[in-house]
Amino acid sequence: MEFLQFAFMQRALLAAVLVGVTAPAVGIYLVQRRQALMGDGIGHVAMTGVGLGFLLSTNPVWMATLVAVLGAIAMELIRSYGRTHGDIALALLFYGGMAGGVMLINLAPGGSNANLTSYLFGSLSTVSEGDIVSICLLAAFVVLVTLGLRRQLFAVSQDEEFARVTGLPVRALNLLVAVTAAVTVTVAMRVVGLLLVSALMVVPVAAAQQLARSFRATFVIAVLVGTGVTLAGTITSYYQDVPPGATIVLLAIAVFVLLTALAAPLARRRARAAAPPATEAQACDVAVPPAAAASGSSAGTGTDGDGVRV
């Protein structure tokens, strides 16, 4: 336990706990709406913010937060409006953000890719007092939103169309999730790095899903797994000279594999107790089997292909 005597290690552990709590707390809503990789995209965009921070000699954490928030808002707007070419627009945003970061940091006086590496893959030992203050403030915001509005965010992430008919401010809540995810990315970037942030948002949630039946239990288990692996990874990287970000993510994946193996018999028992679950297909009135045409008996039912998605 001698690592607790070092100030840098105390800061590192505090940052690790905050990341372990906030990343899965936001990630659960992203997973729920099947946007598990959104955190990855925000991480790419945040690189431009880090580059800007170096170029303008301001705090990279705050600059990354600003740019990541703007990027996340742009992504959410692209998602809700531009259905057809949405993924291309997102790709432009992701890679533009990444290239912008590399370019800006090389333009910055005294900047080099070495500075960037600590943001890309995390660098716990360099977390400063100022960073810790920023991280605490940002983490408080994330916890407040993800816990305080959990019912509303659950409803919006579960069924957006239904949520709109309940009169909830769906657009505002969606933007709030995006902004909160962006803030989480910058909270986590010093610990696990921008390239691995998304893993900490998704993997603990995926692990929790193996055991949990309810949203509440998924949330609690995911936060426990997240906190556990960030703490364990940080301590491991103190004793063994290994990069903390990679250690944390590999530990999270190990927990996922372990819980999956444990849960398999449990799932089988539950499956026997209940009917098979419905599939994901949507918006069909009547599924038309491929063989229908051959039988020639479908005439006269009035169900033509329009509007039928099989």
Q: Residue 27 is inside which H or E element, if any? A: helix 7-32
- Taking the alpha carbons of 216, 222, 225, 230 in that order, is the dihedral positive or negative? negative
Cα–Cα distances in angstroms (integers) from residue 150 to residues 26, 72, 176, 279, in the given order: 10, 20, 12, 26
Binding mask 196-215 for another protein (x = CB under 8 A): ---------x---x--xxxx
Binding mask 6-45 for another protein (x = CB under 8 A): ----------------------x--xxxx-x---------
Does residue 268 belong to the site contacting another protein (CB under 8 A)?
no
Where helices occur in 122-169 by DSSP H, the ranges are 129-148, 150-158, 160-165
Does residue 285 belong to the site contacting another protein (CB under 8 A)?
yes
Q: Give whichever of 54 and 256 is closer to another protein, judged by the CB atom.
A: 256
Does residue 304 belong to the site contacting another protein (CB under 8 A)?
yes
Does residue 85 belong to the site contacting another protein (CB under 8 A)?
no
Residues numbered 210 to 249 that lie near another protein (CB under 8 A) are 212-218
Contact segment (CB under 8 A) with another protein among 9-17, 47-55, 94-102, 160-168 equals 160-168
Q: What's the CA gap between 29 and 252, in Å, rounded?
A: 18
Query: How many CB atoms are located within 10 Å of the residue 301 CB?
Result: 10
SS (H, E, C) 58-120: CCHHHHHHHHHHHHHHHHHHHHHHCCCCHHHHHHHHHHHHHHHHHHHHHHCCCCCHHHHHHHH
Among residues 13, 155, 194, 252, the one that binds another protein under rule CB under 8 A: 155
Contact segment (CB under 8 A) with another protein among 128-136, 151-159, 175-183, 186-194 equals 151-159
Contact segment (CB under 8 A) with another protein among 14-22, 226-234, 247-255, 274-282 equals 274-282
Which residue in 163, 252, 164 sits closest to 206, CA to CA?
252
Q: Which residues bind another protein (CB under 8 A)?
A: 28, 31-34, 36, 149, 151-152, 154-155, 157-159, 161-168, 205, 209, 212-218, 270-271, 273-289, 291-292, 295, 297-298, 301-308
